[in-house]
């Protein structure tokens, strides 16, 4: 059962490999992140950085909806938002980047189904 849905924003870096990236190739690379999982639904991908950084990665900003499981010991919505940011960090390799909770919606009664 899920207690709330939180919309989070973060920047994701993906290894590009050899060659020079273009905006189209970067967008194609990030389209595969649109897949839905049970807990995360990617809503928006924007601000594509179609040049490689020092580590050979390209970047884009993602906004995702995260379903946070109910915990009887959690009382405050901000604690659920923190849990949602942790789920985003686990699903997308965002080490070193900030994750921001933009919006949250608490379910009352609890939501029983996931995104799929």
Which three-class secondary structure string do you get for 6-32? EEEEEEEEEECCCCCCCHHHHHHHHHH
Does the pTM of the predicted model rise above 0.95? no
- Domain spans of the chain, in order of start: 2-107
Mean pLDDT, residues 33-56: 88
For the segment 99-110, what is each residue's pLDDT rounded down to a tens digit?
999 999 999 999
Instruction: Return the pLDDT at 75.
Output: 87
Whole-Å CA distances, 33 to 17, 41, 60: 17, 9, 11
Q: Which of 70, 88, 92 has its CA nearest to residue 79?
A: 70
Instruction: Return the pLDDT at 64.
Output: 94
């Amino acid at each position: 059962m899920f207690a709330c849905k939180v919309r989070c924003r973060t920047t994701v870096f993906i290894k590009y490999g050899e060659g020079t990236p273009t905006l189209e190739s970067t967008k194609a690379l990030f389209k595969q992140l649109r897949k839905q999982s049970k807990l995360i639904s990617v809503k928006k991908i924007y601000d594509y950085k179609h040049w490689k950084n020092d580590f050979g990665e390209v970047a884009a900003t993602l906004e995702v909806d995260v379903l946070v499981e109910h915990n009887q010991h959690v009382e405050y919505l901000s604690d659920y938002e923190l849990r949602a940011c942790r789920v985003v960090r686990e699903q997308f390799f965002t080490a070193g980047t900030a994750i921001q909770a933009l919006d949250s919606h608490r379910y009352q009664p609890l939501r029983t189904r996931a995104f799929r």
